[in-house]
Copies of this chain bind each other. A is one copy, B any other.
Amino acid sequence: MKLNYEENSKVIKALAEPNRLQIIDILSCGELCACDILEHFDFTQPTLSHHMKVLMECGIVDCRKEGLWSFYSLNTSKCNKLILFLMNLVTDTEDCICKEKPKHECK
């Protein structure tokens, strides 16, 4: 069975950057405002803003505004779904798409 490669590749693309992986790690213990996240990095504030936008657009990070601050948090349900997708992807199953096309006996 064909899995949802398009949808999941969007989330994976958002994670395919070392700084954004670190941001996820930083958020893994609870929500933080942008300025606290920025403390961990050498890049500029607009660059962090860009990274947070990428993470939010794929749904893996949520945002809550309060006064001047933006509080970011991990969407743990989305995280779990991504990991489940990957586990399904690499596991051999009865209804795997590999069975949907002929394999000519190479050997």
> B83, A25: Cβ atoms under 8 Å?
no
> B22, A5: Cβ atoms under 8 Å?
yes
Q: When chains A and B are docked, how far (Å) is the Cα of A44 from the Cα of B79? A: 34
> B36, A18: Cβ atoms under 8 Å?
no
Q: When chains A and B are docked, how far (Å) is the Cα of A27 from the Cα of B91? A: 9
Range class of the A interface residue count: 35 or more
Q: When chains A and B are docked, how far (Å) is the Cα of A29 from the Cα of B96? A: 8
Which residue numbers of A lie inside 8 Å of B, CB to CB? 2-3, 5-6, 8-9, 12-13, 15-19, 21-22, 24-30, 32-33, 35-36, 39-40, 66, 69, 71, 74, 76, 79, 82-83, 86-87, 89-93, 96-104, 106-107
